[in-house]
Each structure stands twice: as structure tokens, then as C-alpha cells.
Amino acid sequence: MEKLKILLPKGRIFDNVNRLFSEAGFPVTLADRTYRPGLGAPWLDAKIMKPQNVGELLEIGSHDAGFTGIDWIKESSADVVEILDLGFDKVRIVAAVPQDYDDVKLRSKKIVVATEYVNLTESWLKSSGFQYRILRTYGATEVFPPDDADMIIDNTSSGQTLKDNGLKITGTLLESSTRFVASRIAMDNAQKRSRIEELAMLFRAVLDGRDRVMLEMNIPKEQFESLASLPAMRSPTVAALYGEAGFAVKIAVKKNDVPDLIPKLKKMGAVDIVEYDLRKVVL
């Protein structure tokens, strides 16, 4: 059987993708100074590449699927199939300028704009009516103003790094997160498409499992009618207790609901409430 070629992202988003694979049942093993990790399955072949390159490599068909931010897909205009928004490493692509700059100053001259996002930047600057020259950077973009650039276009999660460097945000180009994406060539191959969809199902199960917990409890017989009001993904799992003393109940609920839910369960008569994490949830 032909292997499915997967591109893993180098850099800051690697850790989250690594954890996702491990929790899905594919532990990542990576020797020092190598770019060819093992994924614990004979049908998977992995390579680590910079997120900036993932989209174009998938478009030309040299690999089948991979992980990158939607910002780099849009920057490269790569023609790929988005399989799943993983929600990792959320950032905004923003325009930032020195604190003492205003719009009048920026529009009074041809500004120098430093960025790694050359194509996104040019499109935004044109639509915003600026006169500009773009200076391509290769990291540490925030250090360019005010000596070497009037504006930067960069990604940020909290904006704190920009503030620490005396910059303020003046516009947002887009919001980005890590996506699981695939080559159109691979998706036209029935066998590879099936494998990609299987991976997506497992990844989704892991993400849904992280978002939920299982609550187990005992409910007396006289409170049985209250079961209908319990939250659950479908409906509560109910089993009769020994001696017909009541019912053992299981419900999978969102983690955020638990602080409000447990006191309500107690008021309903639930006892012996146990909470535990879920590893995967297949809906």
C-alpha cells in the first residue's frame, strides 16, 4: 500500500500538532537534527517543513496532507483542500506602527513596510490607499521601526510583543489558526482520501474529548423523571442499581458546564458523583 505523505510544521506550532498525533494514537518520534519523524504507523510517512512552504508543496502534489496556519495558505495562494480547523495557535495578522505615528503622517509619504507576509501586505496596502515600499523580513519583524520601517505587518497572539517594542496596532488583515489541509491530487485518490478522512475523524475525536468530561452518578428511583433534563451528547446512559435502589447514570458534558452542573445534580438528588477526563469522543 502506498504511504500517506504528511508534512508537519516546524517551529512554534509543532508542539500542538505533535500532541495531537500522540493523543490520536500516533506517537511522534524524532531524532536530533533530523526532519523525518516516525508516526507509529507503517502507512504514514512524515517530514518536517516550515509552515510557509506547506501549502505550495501540497499544491504541487509532492506530499498528501499537512499542517499550517491559514495565514500561510492565503499568503501563498496555495490551492489546497482544508480538512479541519484545529483551532491551535490562534493569531491575528496586523498592521502596527510606532506609538507616535498617526494616519496623517503615514499617508503623507511613501512608507516602508516590513513583513514576512509580502502578498497579503501588498493587497492590504493597495486597498487601503497607501504609498509604500515593502521590505521582506525573515523573523524579528518588530525590531524594524522606526529606524528601518514605518509600519510592520506581522502575526500576534496577545499584542504584548508589539507593545514592548513601542508599537501600536492600526489594522487587522485576518485571523489565523492551524489547519489540517490536503493536496487536491491526494483527495482525488480514493485510498489516500479515505486515510486523510480517517485521520481527520481521529483528530476531531481528540479535540472533542479535550472539550468534555464524563460525569458518573447514582440517582434514587424517586428522582428518575429528572433524568430527562440532564445534558448529554445524545441522551444519558442509565443502568439499574443492584436491589432496584435507583439508577447509575453517565453523561458526557462540556467542561465549562461542570461548575454549574454539579450543584444542580446534587439538588436533583444525585449522589456519588465522579468526574473524569475523556481521551476521544467520536460523535
Q: What is the pLDDT of residue 233?
A: 67
Residue 281 has a pLDDT of 86
Question: Looking at the domain covering 212-277, what would its CATH class be?
Answer: alpha beta
Q: pLDDT tens digits, the chain, 283 residues: what are they?
A: 689 999 999 988 999 999 999 999 999 988 777 889 998 899 999 999 999 999 999 999 999 999 999 999 999 999 999 999 999 999 999 999 999 998 888 898 999 999 999 999 999 999 999 999 999 999 889 999 999 999 999 999 988 999 999 999 999 999 999 999 999 999 999 999 999 999 999 999 999 999 999 999 898 887 777 766 777 667 788 888 887 778 898 989 999 999 999 998 888 888 899 999 988 888 7
Residue 114 neighbours by CB under 8 Å, 6+ apart: 134, 135, 137, 141, 144, 145, 148, 149, 151, 152, 153
How is residue 105 written as a grid cell? Answer: 503622517
Task: Please tell me whether residue 90 adopts helix, strand or coil conformation.
Answer: coil
CA 176 to chain centre: 9
3-class DSSP state for residue 63?
coil
Nearest by Cα to 106 from 94, 98, 116 = 98
Reported pTM: 0.86
The CATH number of domain 91-176, selected from 3.40.50.10710, 3.10.180.10, 3.40.190.10, 3.30.930.10:
3.40.190.10
Angle at 78 between CA 62 and CA 170, to 5 degrees: 140
Q: Where are the domains of the chain?
A: 4-86+177-209, 91-176, 212-277
Comparing C-alpha atoms, which of 174, 173, 172, 170 is closest to residue 106? 170
Nearest alpha carbon to residue 87 among 171, 195, 13? 13
DSSP H helices, 77-212, are: 103-106, 118-128, 160-164, 184-187, 190-210
* pLDDT in the model for residue 230: 76
Q: CA end-to-end span of the chain, whole Å? A: 29
Picking from 196, 224, 225, 212, the residue whose alpha carbon sits closest to that of residue 255 is 212
Confidence at residue 238, expressed as pLDDT on a 0 to 100 scale: 87
Tell me whether domains 91-176 and 212-277 share a fold.
Answer: no
DSSP 8-state class, residue 10: P
Residue with the three cell numbers 508589539? 162
Q: Give the model's pLDDT for residue 245.
A: 78
Assigned CATH topology for domain 4-86+177-209: D-Maltodextrin-Binding Protein; domain 2 (3.40.190)
pLDDT of residue 258: 93
